[in-house]
Amino acid sequence: MPVDPPRSAPPTTPPSAGASLVGWIRGGFIDAELAALVWLLIDSRVPVIVASPEDAPSRAARVGTLAGLLAAEQPTARIEQASTVAGLVDAGELGWLSEVEPAAGGTGGGPVERGEVASEPAPIHPGTVLLAADLGPGLGRRWRAATRVLVRSVSRGFGLVSSVAAQSLEEVLASLRSMQVGLREDELSYLGVVLVVSLDEVAVVAGDEGATAVDASDEPTRISIAHYVRPVARDAHGHVQRLGPAVLASWDAVLGEWEHFAWGIYPELAARVGGRAGDFEHEHIHRTQYLAGLARAGVTDPAGVRAALDLYRRDMALGRQH
């Protein structure tokens, strides 16, 4: 697939809360091909999780950048504290009520969390993309229950954009299936895209005399690997199918570029968004070229990028009508 993102100097400061996807491309955090795939999937409410060893504010900024990819008409709900998940219309069935049952003789819910408003939350319906800066303690005192509900909500038609303090997909899954959270394997299969951010300061370079560790502290922070967690499914005969995660793209430190593998599972990705593999591939190519063009033109401010993405959607919708 043709990709022509520009190269620039590596970033030297923590990610800004005002960063954009095109800014990520120009800064070397991601390339246009992977960025286009993330944009295409997030448009169809496929969950996107950032796994990063960065601090909480930096991970929150990453989530904010991804939220900027959503169409203006896409319903969203910010999950800034655990109690907000009580507003999901399916929260009770997803396990929230069983976690916060009132003590004997109480009035329900236990003490209010710091910063919490003691009022009935507005209902949040399926089709909404849930934006949570953290799937972890950042959600507050009831973070374990909230994390379970947020991950389970994906199977009910909600979207999810969030982050986990982790350095690999394995760490993400281990954290969410731990005794503290207790999510089951089938529930974890709905995680969607997991973008692993690398902060490694040592790279291993292959040479004539074998692999050698070299200082890579001047290398930019970037996505080192992107996974697609396949949801549990049933085949035509009703048998449960559990397939392992697939790699969408990975950074090759020796070549200094990303390798892409999403083409191998286009049929699965197309089925996830309700389309055909050929159409999915063509749309991915078009979005890749569009983002690369924005990067070459230097369109990086969040407002400008959001306007450009909305213009692309409108043009594509008009094209389909004719």
- Asked whether residue 3 is domain-assigned, the answer is no
Q: Report yes or no on 206 lying in a domain.
A: yes
- Please report, for residues 13, 39, 52, 161, 172, the alpha-carbon distance to residue 195 in angstroms, rounded to integers and kept in the order given: 20, 13, 8, 11, 11
- CB under 8 Å to 137, separation ≥6 — which residues? 143
Task: Specify if 30 maps to a domain.
Answer: no
Domain count, the chain: 1
pLDDT, one tens digit per residue, over 9-26 is: 334 345 666 699 999 999
Instruction: Indicate the DSSP class of residue 187.
Output: H
72 lies in some domain: yes
Phi, psi (deg, nearest 5) at residue 109: 85, -15
Arithmetic mean of pLDDT, 268-288 = 96
Instruction: For residue 317, give the amino acid letter.
Output: A
For residue range 225-250, list pLDDT tens digits in order. 999 999 987 666 566 677 899 999 99
Q: What dihedral angle (degrees, nearest 10) is formed by the CA atoms of 146, 150, 152, 153?
A: 130
- Domain membership of residue 174 (yes or no) is yes
* Distant-in-sequence, close-in-space partners of 96: CB < 8 Å, separation ≥ 6: 85, 86, 88, 145, 146, 149
Nearest to 310 by CA among 48, 25, 74, 37: 74
pLDDT confidence bin for 316, thresholds 50/70/90: confident
Q: Is 30 exposed, middle or buried (0-12, 13-18, 19+ CB in 10 A)?
A: buried
What pLDDT does 99 receive? 56
Q: Is 203 a residue whose pLDDT tops 90?
A: no
- Taking only the tens place, the pLDDT of each residue in 48-77 is 999 999 999 999 999 999 999 999 999 999
pLDDT of 40 above 80: yes
Residue 33 domain flag:
no
- Within-domain flag for 36: no
Specify the DSSP class assigned to residue 251: E
How far apart CA 153 and CA 131 sit, in angstroms, is: 12
Token pair of 228 as six digits: 């697609």
Give residue for tokens 């929260």: 91
Helix/strand/coil for 214: strand
Predicted confidence (pLDDT) at residue 309 exceeds the cutoff of 70: yes
Would you say residue 250 lies in a domain? yes
In which domain, by residue range, is 86 found? 45-103+114-274
pLDDT digits (tens, 9 = 90+) for 65-112: 999 999 999 999 999 999 999 999 989 999 987 655 444 344 344 444
CA–CA–CA angle 301, 2, 20 (5° rounding): 15
